[in-house]
A = this chain, B = another copy of it.
Amino acid sequence: MIPVNNPSTVPLLMEGRRQQILDGADAYFTLHGFRPTTMSQATADCGASEEEIFSVFASLDLLTEAVVDRRHLVWMGRVQDCCDKFDASHDKVLSIFGFLERWFAEEAYKTTVFSTVYTSLGIDNPWVLQMAARHVKAFTTMVEDLAVSGGLPRSLGTSIAILAEGAQVTAALTTDPSPAREARTAAAMLIAVYQTDLDVIHF
């Protein structure tokens, strides 16, 4: 198990350097995929010296984890931004599928989807699996909390998170964004089972 990178413990000056290195490594992984590589390859274009890099990230695994963790946080932020546009919890939940549909249409989708990233890094590595589980659990908990705050059972949130994961993998494997809409319809139907005021549900 490797320790989780915790930006809050990093001094401000070093934080700037940290983001600069992360930007360089993120650009490298975007171009080459999350494949076995070396620290010098992943940081070749970040503009920091080897000494500076190793003072911030003691290993390639720690750097890689920080890149993926930042992507996870950015992604969760995008999901949250979509949800924030709506007041009703069930509208927030359904808006996630609208976000997914737009995300699936992005050029790099099939190589940036998290399941692909984790698998490319080697899902049999304990630290990768730990990171994958953290990502899935954070997203699932977010949807479950939305369900509960809308008066729906927590387990309904779990099911809807599974639909969102299924849409992501299906879209990645078929290069077709339509699973987002199909999953959205199913999510709306599941919510409707618990709603008496059916006219607020937009299938």
Contacts and interface: CB of A to CB of B under 8 A. Distances in A.
B170 A136 contact: yes
A193 to B, nearest CB: 6
A199 to B, nearest CB: 16
A contact face: mostly helix, strand, loop, or mixed: helix
A179 B133 CA distance: 13
A164 interface: yes
Interface stretch (A4-12, A46-54, A114-122): A114-122
Contacts of A193: 189, 192-193
Contact of A174 (B119, B137, B159, B186): B137
Nearest to A176: B133
Nearest to A117: B119
Query: What is the interface residue range for chain A against chain B?
Result: 35 or more
Interface string A171-201: 0111100010011011001101100000000
Contacts of A190: 186, 189-190
A174 B115 contact: no
A124 B111 contact: yes
A128 to B, nearest CB: 10
A149 interface: no
A129 interface: yes
Contacts of A115: 115, 119, 169, 172-173
